A and B are shown apart, each in its own frame.
Chain A
Amino acid sequence: MGIVTQTTAVTDPEAAADFGSQLQYSLTTVPDPLTVSPASGTVELGDLIIVGSRISPDPVETNQIAVYVPLGTEAWQLALDLTGLQSLINLTGWTGTPDPANERILFKPATGHATLTPEQGITVQLNKLRINRQVGTAPVVLALNWRAPGTTTWRTEEQTLAIGKFPPGFYLRNLKAETYIENGDPVILTWERSTNGNETYHLLYENIEIDVTSYSTFRVDDVRRNTMFYLRGRIQAGTGTAERTINTYVTVNKPDLEVGDLVVNGGLTFPRPFVQKLKSFPAGRTVSVTPKNDGVLYVLWNGGELYFNFPDVSGITVGPTGRSFLAMPLQKNASFSVTQNQPGPTIAWWVSMGTPQLEMDW
C-alpha cells in the first residue's frame, strides 16, 4: 500500500536529465494523511518527510535545495505560516532554514556547494508545519540548484508534490486483497474508510473506474493479468478538494500478457496443442468463422471455389483450379465468413497461437 498522488512529482521536462530528474522524490506525511486545523483554536501540526534519490550514474553538484510551501488560509495553500517550523536534513554540514520571505525552507551546505553522488539519498524533514484550516490539495515545489561537476552555471530543477489536507476523521487505509491468484480467479478487495458524509471512493484498475463509495469490500472477477488496484478517496469541503489514493497489487499466476513487439531469439514453445482440424465446409452455405486467437488457417480442397468475406474488406475468391491449398493468417476475433460453391473434399487446420480455438457456426 502506498500513497500515489503525493509521490508523483511533476518534473519540468526541460530540466530533466537523461535519467529523468536529477533527484526522484518521495513523500511521507505525519499524520498520514495530513489533517486540517479545526475552524478555530489550536492548530494541527504536520510533518513532511521528503526523500530525494539520485538514480543517474553521474554525480551532480548542488548549492541549495529549496522546498516551497504555499502559505495562507486557502484550500490550495498548505500551512498558515512557517512559524515554529523545524527543519532537518540528513546530510552532514547542511543547514535547514525557514525563509518565510520566500515561502520556502532552504537547505544549504556550509561548504558552499556539495556533490550528490549516484545512489545517494537526501532526506529533508519539515516538522511542525502548521496546517491551515481548509481541506484541499497544496502543491509543494522542490527546487534543486544543480550543475554538472566541472561546469559553472547553476540550473534549477523544480518538481511538484501535491499534498492533500483532509478533515479530521478522514481515513482511507488497509486496501487488501489476496496478493497471488490463478489466472481468471476473482479478487476480493477490502479496505477501511471513513464515512462522514462528504467522501467519495472509486476503485480504479486497468481502464475501469467503479464508484465504491458505499462499499468497503468489492469483488473483481476474472482477473487475468497482474493488476494494480487503486482506491481513490476524494473529499470536498467548501471550494477545496483533497484526494488520497492508495493501491495494492495483485499478482496472477501465468497471467495474460500483452506486449508490443516480441522478438524471440531463442526457442518459442507453446505449452498446449494448438492444431485444430476442422470439418469440411458445407457446399453452398456460408459459414461464419471467428478465430479466438491469432493463428494461421490452412485449407486443402479439391474443386470449386472458396469465397472469404472479411468485413470492411473486399472478399476474396480462391479456386477453382482443381486441388487447392490456402494458408491464411488470421487475427484474434477478426471474424469472417466462408462459402464453398460446390461440394468437395475439404480439409482445414487451424494453427492457433495458444489454446483458444476457431469457432465456426456449424
Chain B
Amino acid sequence: MPTRSNDTLVVPVEVAALAVNTRTQNSSDRFVFHRWQPNFFLLQDNRIPPEPEPFQIDPWPGETERRGVYLQWQLPEALTRGRHDDQDGVEDFPLVPNRWLVVRHQAASDTVRAWVVESDHLGLQTGTVSYLDPDAAEVTATKIGRRHELTTTSPWREPTDARQPFLTALGPGLLTFSVYQPYNENVFSLHDTLDDVPSQDKLSYHVTGWHADPGDDILAGHDGQLTDLLDTLEWLAPTATSTVNHCLYTGSVLGITWDREGPAPSPDIVPDPDQVAVSIGNSAAEAMTGLIDEAAGPSALSEHETRLVRAFALGTLDTLDRTDGDELTDTAAHDSGFGPASAGYSWLIADRSNPNIPASLTATERARQHAREQDVVAELNRLQAEHDALTADLAAAQERLYLLWALSQAEKVPPAFANRIDDELNPDHSDGAAGRVADLTTRLDDLRTSGSLPWGTTPEDLEDSAARYADDHGLPTDHLLQRVPKAPNEEPADPVLLLQGAHLHAPMTRGSFLPCRTPDRLVTKAGPVTAASVQGSVAKVNTSADVPATVPGLLTEFFILDRATHQGVGLGEVTGTLPEYGTEPWQQPWQPLFLQWAVDYTALPYRDQAGPHWTFDGIRYRWNGTGASADPFVITGRQVLAPTAGHDTEGKLAAHARHRTDLPDLRALREEVRNLDMLSQRLDGFSAFLAQRDPRSTLRPTGEVGDLVGHGDHYAPLPGTVKFAFPGRPPEVVSSAFFELRTGQLAFTQLAVVDRFGRAVNLFDNPRHFKPSRPTSMIPDHPVESTDTHRFVELSPRLLQPARLAFGFLNATRDQDVDLTPGANPVCAWIVPNRLDRTLACYDPTGHPWGELRTIMQSNSTKAVVWAPLPGSDVTTLAQLGQVSPHTHDLLAAIAGGGQDVFDAVRATIDDALTTIDPDGPDDQSLGFFLGRPLALVRARLNLQLDGPVRTSCGWNEVLDPDEHPPAMPAWDWIVRLGQATSTDDGLVGYVLNEDYTHLETITTPTGNHGGYLRPIGTGDRLTLAFEGTSTATVTLLCDPRAAVHATTDILPVSSVHVPSEFTDHALSRMAVCFRTGPLLAPTTPDPVTAVLPHPATATGSWTWTEPAGTDNTWRTLPITVPDPTDMPLGDPEIRTGFLVLGDAADATR
C-alpha cells in the first residue's frame, strides 16, 4: 500500500509531449523548427546578450539524435509570478521545484523507464543548458540541469555538494526560461530519444516535482492560515488541512503514438500559414478591426458592422452615434499608439468638510483662509515642480550612467573613450556621470527628507506626510492636501501585430482557481484496473532513497489511468478524483509562444535643407515622397505572444454590459471572446533599435555604480564599431546611425510564430506578396517602392523619447501659471453673444457685467462699433477695460476697430461655432433666440516638452560630448492645431495667437466682410512649436467652457484643456444678460415696487428691469410685473429707458 501523507498537497501541472519522428523532424511544409539556446559565454567573454538574435536558429533537420519525445511540464501560474520594482528592484519570484521524477510507461509491454531531473544542477561539463552561475561574483557562464536514470541499482540520492537553492521560473533572467523548451532541457523538460523503444509503440509519461529542501516549498512555514495562502496562490484545495506544508507537482500525458518512420503524428493543430490573418495597428484594438476583415474576407462585414467593431474595440461605441463619433474613434485609434510616462504631480486641496454643518467662519475669515490655502498650494506646487524636475534629471542621469557603464564593458573601446571613462564612472568626480547621479540623488533625498514637501513611497506614507504638512501650515483638518498626477508625458509605442488563426493554446488566465488534491483523493481504481493490478509497474520505479514518500501513490494513479486508457476503459467512473490535467487523449502540442519578425525599414527624412518632407493634414503627417532616403535596413524582434486581444475584448464586453438591463446574457459570449483565437504583440524593440539600443536582456552594473544606476529599465547601447585595422594606428571608430525620429516605412520580410518546443510556422514565403491588413493611417501615399506596394506600412513621425504638449492656463492679467500663482484666474472675461440686441456682452471673470460692443449710428450717419457699459459697470470706456483686463480690451478693441462688418462677421462666426459645439441647440428655444452661450476668454500657454534632456547619440564618437553633437530635432517646428471643427466635444470658438490681436483664428470658416481679420484655423499651420526650451506659444482662447479645447499634433496624443469649474460655475450662475430696452411707457407698482412691463417668454431664467437711478452711474433694479391685457393698467406710465435683465439663465444656454 503506498504511503500517503496528510502534509502534502498534490498540485496539477500541465505536461506536453512533442513527438518528433523522422517525418516531423524534416517537415518543411506547414512548419519548421526554430530552436535556439542562450550562450552565457557571449556575456562572459564578449559582453554580448546571451540570447541569440531573432532567426539565429540551431540546425535541426537531419540530426537523428534529436528525434524522440520532448516532454515539458508547465509550472503553475503561482510559481511564475513575481514583482520587479524600479525603486528597489525586488524580485520575489518564488523558488520552484528542483527535482522532477519522470517516468515513461509503454503500456503494451508494461515497460517502465524513469529518470530524476536535477533541475538546479550546475556544471560546465555535466549540465545541459547554458546558464549564469548564481553564486559567482563576476559573470561566469556554466550549464544547468542534468538527469539521473533510475534503475534498481541506482536510486536517486541527493548530491552532497548541493548549492543553496536558487532556481526560479526566470532562471538566469530569461523571461521565457520556464516555458521555451530549448531553454530548460533537463530543468523543466526532458528529451527522451526513445532509442530503446520499438519503432512503433504507445507511450505515456508521468512527472512529479518537489523541492529537495522541503523548507523551500511555497507552503512551508505558513502561519496556519493555509486557506489565505491558497487563495493568494489561486489554488483550490477544500480537503486540505492546516497540516499541509509541502507540495508535489504532478502531471501526466497518456497515449503518445510513436511511429519512428511513419507519418507525422496526428492530430496536430499546427495552423496552416495561409489561414493565419495578420493585421497591424497602433494597438491591438485598432488592429482588430482590420483583422476581422482580413480573416473572414473583405465582404465579411458590412461597412456599418466594420464601423461598429472598430468603435467597440477602441472603446468609443457609446459615442459612435454622435455626429463626431467617427472622429472620436479615429482619435482613440491614434492615441492608442502612445503610452503614458509620469510627468510629475501637482497638489490641490480637497474639501472634506461636512456640507450639512454650517460654516463657523465669517465670509471674511473664509476668504482669508482660502487665500492662505492658495498660498500653501502654490508653494507646494512650486516645490513639487522642483522635485519632479530633480526626479527627471536623476532618471536621465542614471540612464546616462548606465549607458556609459555599458559602453565601458565593450570588448573594444576607442582610446579617447578609455581615457575619460574612469572619471565618468567615479562618483567622487563631480563632473562625471556617476558624480552627477550621486549629487542628484543626495539633493533629491534631502528634499524628500527635509519635510519641505510631503513624501512617501506608499500611499499611506504619502497621506500621513501630507496630513502633517497641512497641519504644519495651518490648514483645517477637513481640508486635505491631495497629490494628483499631472498630464503625463506620452511615449510613442511600437506598432502592434495581431494574428488570427494561429491557434491559441490557452486563454490569458485560467479564469478559475487551480484544483489541487490531497493524497487521499488520488485515483485508486478505474474500472477493472486497481492499485493492486498496477503494483508491479509501480515497483519498477526505484523510489527508494531520496524520493518523497507520496510518490508511489502518484505513480499508482498514473499507471491505473494509463492502463485503463490503454484498455479502453472510460475514466468517467473512477475511485478518487481525477487530476485537473492529463486525462485527455494526447495530441501533438502546438503552444504559440514567440512572434519572430523581421522588417525592411526605410528611414525617411522628416526634413533637410530643402525643408520638410512630410505634410500635416490637420490630423496626421503624410510623406510627400520627397527627400533622399537612406538604405533600408533590417530590424528584427522576438516577442512573447499573448492572447491579450481576447482578454481585452472580454473586458470591454463586461464594461459595455455593466449596469445594463437591456442586453441579453453575455456570459457565453464573454467566454467565447476570452478564448478568441487572436494573438497580439507589440513590435517591441523596433523603436529601441532606432534609438541605438538593444532590447535583449544583458548585464547590469553592480556595486557602487549599480547602486547609483538603480533598478530602472535600461537597454544596452549600440554605439557603432571600433576597428583596429592597422597595428600602431588609431582605430577607425564609426558611430551607429542616429535617428532624430521614427519616420519611415516598413515591409515585413519574415514573420514566424514559434511554439514552446520550437516548432515554427512561417506566415509567408514571399515577402513581396505579403499583405497585412493596415489601418488607413498607416497606408502610405507614396510607397518607397513602386511594386507590391501593399507591403508597406507608413509610420508617421514619432519621437524616440517621451514628451508632452503642455497646455495650461495662465493668469489672465500677468501670464503666470495658474497652478503656481495664488488666486490666479485664467478667465479674462466672459463674452455673451446677445442675438436680440446684436451685441457682444462682456462680463468680468466673476460674472459681473462690464459692457458690450454694439453698433451705433454716428452723427455723420455712419455706423460705428462702440463700447457701452452695462448696468452696474464702472468700465465705461474701452480704455478702462484695458486697465482691468488687457487681453479682453485688445480683443474687443480690434473688433470694434474693424467696424460693423468685422463686428457682424465675428458674431456670425461665433454663432456658427456654437452650432457645431451644440448642434441640437438649447432645450429652451426662445432662450436660444435671445443669446448664445457665454464664452470664456481665457489665457493659456502651449509648450512642447521633452521628458528629461533631449535624446542624443550614444555612438562612440558622440557619447562623451553630447553637447558638441546636438540633435537637430528640438529646433524643428511642429504644427499644433487647436480645436476640432466637427467635434461637439470641443469648445473652441477662436483664439488669438501670441498677442497678435490683429487676427482671430476661428474654428469655423468665417463669413462676411471681415477684411482678413478672421482666419480659419484649418490645419493649424500658423501655430507651430518646437521642443527647444524657449519655443512656447501663448493664446487667448475664446471657448465654451463646458467643453475642452483640444490640441492636435499627431506626434503626440491629442491634448486638451478644460477650464476648471472653480473659475466658471460661480460666474455663470451670477451672470445676468441685459437687453437694452426703451424708451417705453411702463408704470411701477407702489408696494412692492415693481416695473410693470411685458418681458419675453422664456422657460428658463428670471426677468428684472434695471434702469439708471441717477447720473452717477447708479442703477436701480426692479422686479417685473407683467401687465394683464384684460385688466386696468397699474400705476402711471412713465417713459423709461433701461435694460431687461435675464438672470439665472446664462448657464442654461447653448
Contact = CB atoms under 8 A, between A and B. Distances in A.
A92 B749 CA distance: 28
B42 A100 contact: no
B721 A71 contact: yes
Contacts, number: 103
The 10 closest A-B pairs by CB, nearest first: A84-B634, A83-B634, A95-B39, A110-B130, A83-B633, A110-B39, A86-B55, A108-B41, A103-B721, A80-B631
B533 interface: no
A97 B633 contact: no
Interface stretch (B44-52, B502-510, B578-586): B44-52
Contacts of B57: 86, 88
Contact of B720 (A95, A99, A101, A111): A101
Given A83-B634, A89-B59, 5 more contacts: A101-B410, A101-B411, A106-B48, A108-B46, A110-B40
Interface string B712-740: 00000011111100000000001010000
A111 B129 CA distance: 9
B718 to A, nearest CB: 7
A352 B1030 CA distance: 103
A90 B632 CA distance: 30
A103 B631 CA distance: 18
B412 interface: yes
Contacts of A63: 41, 45
B598 A84 contact: yes
Contacts of A108: 39, 41-42, 45-46
B1114 interface: no
B124 A101 contact: no
A2 B660 CA distance: 78
B37 interface: yes
A103 B723 contact: yes
Interface in B730-755: 734, 736, 749
Contact of B59 (A43, A88, A102): A88
Contacts of A92: 58, 63
Contacts of A95: 36-39, 42, 52, 56, 58
A282 B889 CA distance: 140
Interface in A106-124: 106, 108-112
Nearest to A113: B41
Interface in A39-85: 41-43, 63-64, 71-73, 80-81, 83-84
A164 interface: no
Contacts of A110: 37-41, 129-130, 141, 143
Nearest to B749: A84
Contacts of B718: 100-101
A295 interface: no
A97 B56 CA distance: 7
12 contacts: A84-B634, A84-B636, A89-B59, A95-B37, A97-B53, A98-B53, A100-B718, A100-B736, A101-B410, A101-B720, A108-B42, A111-B125
A96 interface: yes
B635 interface: yes
Contacts of A88: 57, 59
A150 B32 CA distance: 41
Nearest to A133: B631
Contacts of A103: 721, 723
Nearest to A88: B59
A174 B306 CA distance: 59
A111 B785 CA distance: 46
A87 interface: yes
A92 B130 CA distance: 13
A86 B723 contact: no
Contact of B600 (A42, A71, A86, A99): A42
Nearest to B788: A42
Contacts of A81: 633
Contacts of B636: 83-84
A39 to B, nearest CB: 11
Contact of A97 (B42, B63, B719): B42
A100 B633 CA distance: 13
Contacts of A234: none
A112 B124 contact: yes
A97 B632 contact: no
B526 to A, nearest CB: 42
Contact of B41 (A73, A87, A112, A130): A112
A130 B634 contact: yes
A112 B141 contact: yes
Interface string A250-292: 0000000000000000000000000000000000000000000
A318 to B, nearest CB: 66
Contacts of B55: 86
A130 B631 CA distance: 11
B412 A43 contact: no
A238 B936 CA distance: 69
Nearest to A80: B631
Contacts of B410: 101
Identify which of B59, B141, B719, B749 gathers the most chain A CB atoms within 10 Å of its CB: B59
Nearest to B768: A42
Contacts of B411: 101-102
B143 A111 contact: yes
A102 B721 contact: yes
Contacts of A101: 410-412, 718-722
Contacts of B48: 97, 99, 106
Nearest to A73: B631
Contacts of B124: 111-112
A100 B36 contact: no
A90 B634 contact: no
A111 B45 CA distance: 12
A315 B40 CA distance: 82
Contacts of B129: 110
B719 to A, nearest CB: 7
A90 B412 contact: no
B632 A43 contact: yes
Contacts of A71: 721
A214 B634 CA distance: 42
Contacts of A86: 55-57
B633 A80 contact: yes
A97 B59 contact: no
Nearest to B598: A84
Contacts of B631: 43, 73, 80, 133
A63 B736 CA distance: 28
A98 B635 CA distance: 13
B572 to A, nearest CB: 46
Contacts of B412: 101-102
Contacts of A42: 600, 632, 785
A248 B721 CA distance: 42
Identify which of B63, B130, B720, B785 gathers the most chain A CB atoms within 10 Å of its CB: B130
Contacts of B600: 42-43, 84
A96 B58 CA distance: 9
A38 to B, nearest CB: 11
Given A81-B633, A110-B130, A112-B41, A99 B125 contact: no
Contacts of B38: 95, 110
A108 B719 CA distance: 23
Nearest to A96: B56
B46 A99 contact: yes
A99 B43 CA distance: 12
Identify which of A92, A95, A103 gathers the most chain B CB atoms within 10 Å of its CB: A95
A90 B62 CA distance: 11
A99 B632 CA distance: 19
Interface in A18-41: 41
A96 B52 CA distance: 8
Identify which of B37, B58, B719, B736 gathers the most chain A CB atoms within 10 Å of its CB: B58
Identify which of A63, A99, A109, A133 gathers the most chain B CB atoms within 10 Å of its CB: A99
B1054 to A, nearest CB: 34
A232 B722 CA distance: 36
A96 B720 CA distance: 20
A97 B52 contact: yes
